[in-house]
Amino acid sequence: AAGAGPEEREWLEEKYPGWNKTWGKCWDVITDNLNNGREDLTLPETLPYVCNMCQLPIVGTPGNEWNVQDYPLEFEGRLYHFGSKADRWCFEQDPERYKEHQSLIDRFLSGQIQPADLPGALAYMGLGPGEMGKDAHDYAWAAAFKKQAEVA
């Protein structure tokens, strides 16, 4: 995998109008950090909160009108979090089927993952540098932005 360089961002904006005002802002920060020698600032410090149904991060769409929303539900004394009304609805249809599932975040918070930090979580999932790798093109896409800035 690789990041979103100038050509990719142009394509994304054409196909998904407003992309640069939302997701593009995230890539701006990543690109600036990489071009300033701060790859460490592009890496996560902890785990994102995930939906108890689909297991995807509950993040919403970034940008000036950030719209993240949690759809919580308390069931038998446990608080569940969902990324959409549809995810919560699925749970409500058969809570007995889903109520015992422990998400990665649940395992992290309950102490099942040790050490209780991002490296511990990655080790728990069996992910090391060999499995995760780095950018497929050694951040050439970010360097393209640096070249554009130097020309301007």
Same domain, 53 and 97: yes
Same domain, 24 and 58: no
- Residue 111 in any domain: the answer is no
Does 14 or 66 have the greater pLDDT score? Answer: 14
Grade residue 152 by pLDDT with cuts at 50, 70 and 90.
Answer: low
Same domain, 51 and 21: no
Same domain, 55 and 94: yes
- Residue 108 in any domain: the answer is no
pLDDT of 150 > 60? The answer is yes
- Residue 54's pLDDT is 96
- Residue 15 in any domain: the answer is yes
- Around 37, how many Cα atoms within 13 Å sit in the side-chain half-sphere? 0
What contacts 52, CB < 8 A, 6 or more positions away?
80, 81, 82, 87, 91, 98, 101, 103
Please check whether residue 6 is in contact with residue 35, taking contact to mean a CB–CB distance below 8 angstroms. Answer: no
**Domain extent for 27:** 1-44+117-152
| pLDDT, mean of residues 114-126 | 91
Same domain, 26 and 55: no
**Total number of domains in the chain:** 2
pLDDT of 100 > 90? The answer is yes
- Residue 81 in any domain: the answer is yes
User: What CA–CA distance (Å, rounded) separates 7 from 141?
Assistant: 9
Same domain, 40 and 67: no
| pLDDT, mean of residues 129-145 | 86
Same domain, 121 and 86: no
Same domain, 56 and 93: yes
